[in-house]
Structure 1
Amino acid sequence: MLREVHLTLALALGAGAATVAAAPAPGPSGTAPPARPSGPAGEPSSGPFGGQVGATIKNADGRAVGMLRIAGADSDKPRIVVVVSDLTPGQHGFHIHAKGVCDPKSTDPATGSPFFSAGPHFDLDSEAHPYHSGDLPDLMVGKDGTGRAVLVTDRFRVQQLFDADGSSVVIHALSDNHANIPDRYHSGQGQGGPDAETLKAGDSGRRVACGVIER
């Protein structure tokens, strides 16, 4: 399944991906080392994703369920590609989080959710709520448990993801309401505006998978 995820990710990157040299013929052992793509003057390039950064996304059991790639290290509008498998069908909150630590044994003391180590949503401007810099569109997963998304954001630059404590990508159990205020705020009891839970994660629920973003 993970091989299919890699293939789907490569296809999703489209023509913008770097060309990979053909693999050498298998040797006597029947295996061959992966070919290294070449840059100018035969020097190794940065790989099949053209110098992008990314993450292997794992569930709380430590099993890989997806891959993330972010292209455009020098752009103010990086391009994000994600493919996943073996997830619950439906819409899932999908965010960049503030810390590059994905420890499934680190649990939220309030909810018991794993990956508490990833911290809150990545945010360059704490006054910009209810939107965070790391807020992304929901990830739609089909009936077969697979999903794919390609998107562009202007809320951060790639370099900003590599601050002192790094960053990660997190997939949540439920959909993010994206500041569409739930009905519970219109109860006629004087509540005005989103509560702490919506401000924190858009009511997207438990964290079900996490991946540290790396160069």
Structure 2
Amino acid sequence: MVGKARLALLVVLGVGVVALSAAALGEMMPARDGAPVGAVIKNTKGQTVGSLQVENAGNGKSKITVGVKNLPTGYHGFHVHTKGVCDPQATDPATGSPFFSAGGHFDLGSHLHDHHSGDLPNLLVGADGTGTASVVTDRFRVEQLFDSDGSAIMIHAMADNHANIPDRYRNAEGEEGPDAETLNAGDSGGRIACGVITRS
């Protein structure tokens, strides 16, 4: 009888230690207040073309999972942007690209592309217009997406070159290496879909 009681006590203590360890590490836990974090991604016509989920992955990392449909085939630049406003009517005065309301790439410092905190790998969309991806990053924590003006997820028209321009190429000024647009956004082109990141 004593043996069973001792075993039961050890099991309870073990469960408590495991629970404490998971909480301390933040392993796959929701955002701080427990609410799921994500976004509904819409195109310029206001049609839903995908969804995003963001969660704590432990050790200061965040896991981003995205699924999209009805998008052009190929690789697309995929970034967190600095403002949680997705207005397709707000266009970039220089390029005419929609969703200018979302600002530039989310960044916790003063980095060039592709070292912005919100820079993510390209999103591959198949011939059927669908794509899924999952990535873990240590460049931001979930809670940091909810600053005073929020944040958004953005899908661009073209692939992001991640500022990978060999010196044999020339910029508009005839100089070697990447030009200002490459250093800013990786030549990923116009913004075709956007989603405000929220706690649901």
Q: TM-score by structure 1 length?
A: 0.72
CA shift in 2, pair 1:90/1:144, >3 Å: same
Aligned pair 1:160/2:148, yes or no?
no
* Separation of aligned partners in 1, 2:176 and 2:167: 11
Deviation, 1:193, is 3.3
Gaps of 5+ in 1: 1-45
1:38-57 maps to which residues of 2 (within 5 A)?
51-57=35-41
Answer with 1 or 2: which has the greater Rg: 2
Superimposed CA distance per residue, residues 36-81 of structure 1 (whole angstroms, 9 cap, x where no aligned partner): xxxxxxxxxx8xxx73300000000000000000011865111110
Runs of 4+ residues over 2 Å off in structure 1: 127-130, 182-187
Decide which of 94, 100, 114 is 2:98's aligned counterpart: 114
* Separation of aligned partners in 2, 1:177 and 1:129: 10
Aligned pair 1:91/2:75, yes or no?
yes
Q: TM-score by structure 2 length?
A: 0.77
* Separation of aligned partners in 2, 1:121 and 1:157: 15
Provide the secondary structure at the position in 2 that maps to 1:136.
Answer: coil
Q: Is the 8 A contact 1:89 1:144 kept in 2?
A: yes
Deviation, 1:205, is 0.2
* Separation of aligned partners in 2, 1:109 and 1:190: 25
Decide which of 120, 123, 142 is 1:139's aligned counterpart: 123
Q: Percent identity?
A: 66
Aligned pair 1:67/2:67, yes or no?
no
Provide the secondary structure at the position in 1 that maps to 2:169.
Answer: helix
1:1-215 maps to which residues of 2 (within 5 A)?
51-72=35-56, 76-127=60-111, 129-181=113-165, 185-186=169-170, 191-215=175-199
Q: Is the 8 A contact 2:81 2:104 kept in 1?
A: yes
* Separation of aligned partners in 2, 1:102 and 1:184: 38
CA shift in 2, pair 1:108/1:208, >3 Å: same
Deviation, 1:196, is 1.6
Tell me the C-alpha RMSD between the 2 structures. Answer: 2.2
